[in-house]
Each structure stands twice: as C-alpha cells, then as structure tokens.
Chains A and B, each alone.
Chain A
Amino acid sequence: MDEMDMEEGGAVKKFMFVNRKAPYGTIYALEGLEVVLISAAFDQDVSLAFCDDGVYELKKGQDTKGIGVKNFSPTYRALEGYDIEKLYVEKESLEARGLTEDDLLVDVQVLSSAELGAMMAEQDVVISF
C-alpha cells in the first residue's frame, strides 16, 4: 500500500473518524474502533473526533458486568501505540453531559463545535460511526 501511494505521488490523506454514539447500546462504537485500528496500518494522517454521546466512549471507569458486554474502553489507551494521537473532543458535548476532560481515560484536545467543524472541513475522508 505504501509503495502504491508513493508511485501515485506519495499523497497521505487526512482521515477523520467521528464517534457519535454511546459505547454500549449499539455496536457502532466498537466496530468504529475496529476501523480506526486497521487504518493505522495504512500510514495515513488519522484523527478521531468525539461528539454527542460519543464522548461517553472515553469515559473513565466503564463497568459493563451488568450488561454482559465486553468493556472495550482500554483499547482507546492503546491508540497511542498505533501512532494515533490526534483525539478531539467537542466541548459542547462534554458540557451537555456534565463531563470534563478529567473524566476521560486518554489525553485529548477539547475543541469548540466551530473549531471541530473547521477541522472536519480540512479532511479528505470523514467516516462517522
């Protein structure tokens, strides 16, 4: 894949994965994270955005015993090891849910809705889950 890109001009595209859903209740967050992990193998410029109920995906202290579903939140901590370090969280979504940056299990950059929108506008590929 790398060689093919270089042959075609070496362009690296900006990919943003937008996470909008709560971690449990539907499978979107889990399957979205699977795409993010695969994308790391393609040497693209990858970032993640979290907004709406998607901010809950990063909430510390997730305990899924009661619903019998695997707690996959530790995987977000592993993203750094995949060189995926650009994580943006929408400020308004955090505030609406009574959360602050301290409630999150990874280091993120908190952006206003307008700032996040501007960031999205710069992307080549936006995939939302």
Chain B
Amino acid sequence: MKLGIMVSEGPYTHQAADTAYNFAKAALEKGHEIYRVFFYHDGVNNGTGYTTPPQDDRNIVNRWSELAQQHNLDLVVCVAAAQRRGIVDADEQKRHGKSGNNLAPGFRISGLGQLVEAGIQCDRLVTFGD
C-alpha cells in the first residue's frame, strides 16, 4: 500500500511524534511504500537538527534522518509552519538573513501543496496528532 503520513505534533512534547516514526518503520518493514511524511503545526520541530536530547534518551530527529537515508524517504517540513517556529534551511537562512540554519539531514522544506498531493497520490493518508 502507498502511504502518506502527516505529523502534527512536536518531538518529546507529544507521543504522536514517536508513534508516527514507529508506524513508518513498521510499515516499511512490512513492505509498504511511504510516499511522503509531511510535518505540520509543531510537527515541524521533528526536523530541527539543533535538537540535543539527553544521551540516555532517544534522538527523535536523528531517527527520522536515519530512516530517510535507509529508505530514501521524502520528509517534508511545511515552509510556513517552519518559518513561524524558526526552522530554516541554508536557502531560507540567506533569504531571511538568519544567523544559522537548522534543517536536519534528510528533510526538505516545501509548501502545503505537498500535503494535499500526498492525499491525492496515496492509498491512505495517516495522521498523527491530537
């Protein structure tokens, strides 16, 4: 089955971020295709590479990056939601004159059309949030 995933809540604050990852991993292990993972609302915080949890805790951001690398996943962070919350890639950093960029490896920033497109293209769009 071709699956789209939407993550609407931030890492560590909300279980949804963990559940989405566990779902994605399990779906891939079962042989399903993940067309795209779209991060929205506070979910965009799953894509900040500045995340530095205590060493004895899981690193939610790195986990996504690693899964993306292993399975060539398309991890998309909503541009408008990301800008509100201070998540920028190198291009956005330049455009907005910021002092750094923090988009984690394996993620890309794009628009909301990517979410709607996932709804159109996928057999199921599965959302994780409140």
Binding site for B on A (CB under 8 A): 1, 5, 13, 15, 27-28, 31, 34-35, 38-39, 41-42, 44, 124-125, 127-128
Contacts of B113 in A (CB 8 A): 38, 41-42
Q: Which residues of B contact A (CB under 8 A)?
A: 6, 40-41, 80-81, 84, 111-113, 115-117, 119-120, 125, 127
Contact B116 A39 (CB under 8 A): yes
- Given A125-B125, A127-B125, A128-B127, A35 contacting B116 (CB threshold 8 A): yes
User: How far apart sit A31 and B39, CA to CA, in the bound complex (Å)?
Assistant: 12
> Which B residue's beta carbon lies closest to that of A42?
B116
Query: In the complex, which of the residues A1, A13, A38, A128 contacts B111, with contact meaning CB atoms closer than 8 Å?
Result: A38
Q: Chain B at the A interface: mostly helix, strand, loop or mixed?
A: helix
A5 touches B120 (CB 8 A): yes
Which residues of B sit under 8 angstroms from A13, Cβ to Cβ? 119-120
B115 to chain A minimum Cβ distance, whole angstroms, is: 6
Residue from the list A15, A31, A42, A127 in contact with B81, Cβ < 8 A: A31
Q: How far is the CB of A78 from chain B (nearest CB, A)?
A: 17
- In the assembled complex, the Cα of A13 lies from the Cα of B127 at a distance in Å of 17
B4 vs chain A, min Cβ distance (A): 9
Residues in B neighbouring A35, C-beta threshold 8 A: 40, 112, 115-116
Given contacts A31-B41, A127-B6, contact A44 B115 (CB under 8 A): no
Chain A contacts for B125, CB-based, 8 A: 125, 127
Q: Are A127 and B127 in contact (CB under 8 A)?
A: yes
Question: Contacts A13-B120, A128-B127 hold; do A27 and B112 have CB atoms under 8 A apart?
Answer: no
A15 touches B119 (CB 8 A): yes
- Nearest to A44 among chain B residues (CB) is B120
A38's partner among B6, B81, B112, B127 (CB-CB below 8 A) is B112
Q: Pick the contact of B119 from A5, A31, A34, A125 — CB < 8 Å? A: A125
A44 to B84, CA, bound (A): 28
B120:A42 contact, CB within 8 angstroms:
yes
In whole angstroms, how far apart are the Cα atoms of A44 and B121 in the complex? 12
Cα distance A32–B84 in the bound complex, in angstroms:
15
A64 to chain B, nearest CB (A): 17
* In the complex, chain A residues whose CB is within 8 Å of the CB of B6: 127
Residues of A within 8 A of B112 (CB): 34-35, 38
